[in-house]
Structure 1
Amino acid sequence: MTHAQDVLERYRAALIPVFGVPLTVLSHGDGCYVVDVDGKRYLDLLGGIAVNTLGHGHPALLEAIAKQASQLMHISNFFTSEPQVELAEKLLEICRAPAGSGVFLCNSGTEAVEAAIKLTRRTGRTRLIAAKNAFHGRTTGALALTWKEAYRAPFEPLMPGVSHVAYNDPDALRAEVAAAGDDLAAVILEPLQGEAGVIAADPAYLRLARDLTAQAGALLVLDEIQTGMGRTGHWLAHHATDVVPDAVTLAKGLAGGVPVGALVTYGPDVTGLLSAGQHGSTFGGNPLASAAGVATIRTIESDGLLAHAGEIGDHLRSRVDGLGHPRVAGTRGRGLLIAVQLTEPVAVSLTALLREAGFLVNAVAPDALRLAPPLILTRVEADSFLAVLPDLLDAAVPA
């Protein structure tokens, strides 16, 4: 029995099996690479599902965490710390939030969505519109916004008053907003639907959502949990448009791997919807996570990683599109959030073959691969993946 097999047996005996059996047991990482407990090395092209913004073991992140851990890790929200305030200030800056905006810090993306739901309730309205194929989290409020039946069915009935419309369908959105009438609290959308296979919203669709909610006196909430923090070559994916939302949810890559989430509210009217005592989080905004978030943002800025993500993402997509392989229909996405659309349902097999060859990717659908590597991925590292892809596409078998 290998070391990994032994640990996986212990895993089966000790953990509730909500994730199934893990694929392997990872030990450590360096840059864009991770190593398992048996010594096998992998190029991490999934980045903890868009979380490890700076890769593994980045010196700036390690230094910030070590320094803060030696000072304060947790103090409760009866008090504050400079890292908490600085992280909030940096988020307002990178989100292009106007004067009077605010930040609520929490621990995860689904918690940020829960905070957004409570924000919408403070409008005095209860109807919410989300999109088909959306993923907003798995806590019960966020789950009501999430589309996938397999996630929802075991826990129904969920929060009432939520309807789902076809993504990128202007007529469907107009009709549902009209049907909601004066009870519409918010429309909640992902600028790119990551779990659905990296499907981008048409800029005109986002503008329509903004116009319709403004006319209805409702909020527009954009879920940038997977797409924010430079992932698409912009700080936030919707920055590629002229849309200004009422609120944004962030998490995943915000602190380079340390758990943190955020709700950012735009302007004094929206920010003022939540007042003292109406929401909270024991660990939210703790000094350690906040210091990690500040270090991540500063490194993205100092190392030019927004432009780099765009350049490497364009390189990957152009090279995959240029393969001319019969099993590749094309690519989707922006920056370093990419889907490789396949012509056959071979994604699961291809993912396993790539893992055997030393590359970690995700079968986001039976016929699509998802790439969400660290923003520090180099062209040489990208090319190593591109070099093995054609042969492994040939070898993959349909599910």
Structure 2
Amino acid sequence: MTEGSQTGPETERLRTLSEEHSAHNYHPLPVVIAEGDGAFVTDVEGRRYLDMLSAYSAVNFGHRNPRLVAAAREQLDRVTLVSRAFDHDQFGPFCAELAELCGKDMVLPMNTGAEAVETALKTARKWGYEVKGVPADEANIVTFVGNFHGRTTTIVSFSTDPVAKASYGPYTPGFRTVPYGDEDALRGAVDGSTVGVLVEPIQGEAGVVVPPPGYLRAVRDLCTEHGALMLADEVQTGLGRTGTTFACEHEDVVPDVYILGKALGGGIVPVSAIVADADVLGVFKPGEHGSTFGGNPLACAVAREVIAMLNTGEYQARSRELGAYLHERLHALDTDTIREIRGRGLWAGIELNGLARPVSERLMDLGVLAKETHDTTLRLAPPLVIEKKDLEWALDRLQKAL
């Protein structure tokens, strides 16, 4: 890791190209990455950084994880895309293995997290009309204040973030949004026409917001009581990030639909999926939903290796053990700039009394990459392969940056 100014001629050249020729829909830190290895990345000037963001949990298993790269290379030498017009030899095993990991019957693969969420919403509505018997066009789905499920038109329709939502109307109807963690408000929103409750077990983009103890259990019980589907968006929380395979496990809750993405592609290819039992996913017939790239051979080969790695339990254990150390150190930070610390496993949101962007920039100068969310929260999500000594080093730099 290198401390000091990050400015260099190649960095400035490439940043200028980005600034002039790409839409300004992100506000990246002023660093240009050229290589990655494990928990570290190196910029175009040769400076090395500890990655404490993991591409928003898409790189849970580290940059260029040898097992995942090997799986990708092997598949690259065979076949990468046939569309869903044909089966291929990776597809059936991928679906069976992911279904087993989730304890469900069936898988519907897509590519991005937003696609998986859209698929879950369509599934809930179709199931509601064809199985539950909700009258046509009367289905509602309950969502939560502070949610982040992607940026498609339908998804931003129920966002409560003005930055994500403004200027994209008219908005898709059929959603009821209630305060996150408020059981009474949730109960008041669910009725006989409710076909699903879409919930993040921990709200990531909102600042790693953990619900009150027992809340996920209340969501599960209320869905069961009213015959609605519990749709768990585990795109960020799932696949080891919080110390268990799925964050719902912390309350012994099994949703009707798992929504997965990010780390499922091993940081190599975009892979997402929804996983449910046959009485839910069985509503689809040929032509009613699909994706040319969803479930492609390369994606399936990489995702199968991800599933095999998760089946060892090693990464969930690392997240639990190192996560306990992370939160112990964070709560011991000697600074009056922190308002609140939230999170679980190797995931933390540090709510500051001021803006988090300057802290992100100081951390970058100190050799650590992290990112702010909603102005005042600094998010930490290191790869699950991070070594304790490197985590210690990063937290020492964080103390200095604060």
Is 1:93 aligned with 2:100? yes
Query: Following superposition, which runs of at least 4 residues in structure 1 exceed 4 angstroms of deviation?
Result: none
Q: Which amino acid aligns with 1:39?
A: G
Aligned pair 1:46/2:53, yes or no?
yes
Q: How does 1:214-363 map to 2 (within 5 A)?
A: 214-257=224-267, 258-265=269-276, 267-302=277-312, 304-342=314-352, 344-363=353-372
- Kept in 2, the 8 Å contact 1:351–1:360? The answer is yes
Which TM-score applies when normalising by structure 2?
A: 0.92
Q: Distance in 1 between matches of 2:144 and 2:389?
A: 38
User: Quick one: which amino acid aligns to residue 347 of structure 1?
Assistant: A
Shift of 1:328: 2.8
Q: Please give the secondary structure, in 1, of the residue aligned with 2:108.
A: strand
Aligned to 1:397: none
Does the Cα contact within 8 Å between 2:81 and 2:293 map onto a contact in 1? yes
Secondary structure class of the residue paired with 1:163 = strand
Change (3 A) 1:335 1:20: closer
What are the superposed Cα offsets for residues 32-65 of structure 1, whole Å, 9 maximum, x if unpaired? 0001111111100000111111111211111101
% same residue: 36
8 Å Cα contact 1:137-1:146 kept in structure 2: no
The match for 1:152 among 148, 152, 165 is 165
**d(CA) in 2 for partners of 1:149, 1:330:** 23
Kindly state the Cα deviation for residue 249 of structure 1 after the two structures are TM-superposed.
Answer: 0.6
Deviation readout 1:183-240 (Å, 9 max, x if unpaired)? 2121110000001111112342222222222222221111001101111111110011
Pick closer, same or farther for the CA change 1:256–1:247 going to 2, 3 Å. Answer: same
Structure 1 gaps of 5+ residues are: 394-399
User: Are 2:101 and 1:55 aligned?
Assistant: no
What's 2:144 paired with?
A: 131
Q: Separation in 1 of the partners of 2:333 and 2:325?
A: 12
Q: Which residue of 2 aligns with 1:396?
A: none
Note the C-alpha offset of 1:20: 4.2
CA distance in 2, matches of 1:297, 1:367: 35
Distance in 1 between residues matched to 2:88 and 2:313, nearest whole Å: 26
Q: Which amino acid aligns with 2:140?
A: R
CA deviations 1:60-86 (Å, max 9, x no partner) are 111101000000100110122232222
- Provide the C-alpha distance between the structure 1 equivalents of 2:227 and 2:60, rounded to a whole number of angstroms: 36
Among 366, 379, 382, the alignment partner of 2:375 is 366
Q: By how many angstroms is 1:324 displaced?
A: 3.2
Distance 1:59 1:65 in 2: 10
Q: Extract unaligned runs of 5+ from structure 2.
A: 1-7
Matched to 2:271, the amino acid is: V
Contact 1:61/1:295 (8 A) holds in 2: yes
User: Are 1:28 and 1:35, in contact at CA under 8 Å, matched by a contact in 2?
Assistant: yes
Q: In terms of mean alpha carbon deviation, does 154-163 or 107-116 score higher?
A: 154-163
Post-superposition shift, 1:334?
1.1
8 Å CA contact 1:8, 1:22 repeated in 2: no
DSSP-derived class of the 1:369 partner:
strand
Question: Do the aligned partners of 2:39 and 2:383 also contact (CA within 8 Å) in 1?
Answer: yes
Q: Once the 2 structures are TM-superposed, how far is the Cα of residue 96 of structure 1 from its aligned partner?
A: 2.2
Deviates more, 1:185-194 or 1:241-250: 241-250
* Alpha-carbon distance in 2 for matches of 1:350, 1:12: 23
Tell me if the contact between 1:207 and 1:243 (Cα under 8 Å) persists in the aligned partners.
yes
Find the aligned partners of 2:222 and 2:395 in 1 and give their Cα distance: 43
Q: Is it true that 1:24 corresponds to 2:31 in the alignment?
A: yes
Equivalent pair of 2:101/2:311 in contact (CA under 8 Å): no
Residues 145 and 250 (structure 1 numbering): CA distance in 2 closer, same or farther, change over 3 Å?
farther
| Aligned 8 A contact 2:200 2:234 in 1 | yes
Name the SS for the 2:274 alignment partner.
strand
Note the C-alpha offset of 1:373: 1.2
Seen in structure 2, the aligned counterparts of structure 1 residues 327 and 12 have a Cα distance that, compared at 3 Å, is: closer
Q: CA deviation at 1:119?
A: 0.5
Q: Which amino acid aligns with 1:385?
A: A
Deviation by residue 1:115-139 (Cα, 9 ceiling, x = unmatched): 0111012112421110000001101
**Counterpart residue type for residue 170 of structure 1:** E
- Residues of 1 paired with 2:15 and 2:182: CA distance? 44
In structure 2, distance between residues paired with 1:196 and 1:80: 39
CA displacement 1:8-44 (0-9 Å, x = unmatched): 2222332222224663211011110001111111100
Match 1:108 to one of 107, 112, 121: 112
Closer/same/farther in 2, CA of residues 251 and 61 from structure 1, 3 Å limit:
same
